[in-house]
Amino acid sequence: MPPIINAEQCSHCGTCASICPLNIFTYSKGQTPVVAYPEECWHCNACVLDCPKKAIELRLPINYMMLHVDADSLHR
């Protein structure tokens, strides 16, 4: 589940649901938005940046990895 909303912190403003470029949330007034289509998240971070309560954390799926090595291994 890519964006994770901390329901304690959320003020139910609906901003994240409105601005998500992929429309992945559903939202009803006065409630915490639901991450309805997690597999369609682009991981753009817009919801994290725009949440006025800093209530959203974005988790990258395990398979997105960002493959890397110690740079020293390239400097022999």
Measured from the CB atom, is 42 or 71 closer to ligand SF4?
A: 42
Pick from 1, 4, 21, 61 the residue near ligand SF4 by CB under 6 A.
21
Task: Find residue 46's DSSP bridge partners.
Answer: none
State yes or no: residue 37 binds ligand SF4 (CB under 6 A): no
Measured from the CB atom, is 10 or 46 closer to another protein?
A: 46
How distant is the alpha carbon of residue 45 from its chain centre? 6
Task: Find residue 34's DSSP bridge partners.
Answer: 26
Give the separation between CA 35 and CA 7, rounded to whole angstroms.
12
Pick from 1, 4, 36, 44 the residue near ligand SF4 by CB under 6 A.
44
Return the C-alpha torsion angle 36, 39, 43, 46, nearest 10. -20
- The site for ligand SF4 (CB under 6 A) is made up of 2-3, 5, 10-16, 20-22, 24, 33, 41-47, 51-53, 55-56, 58
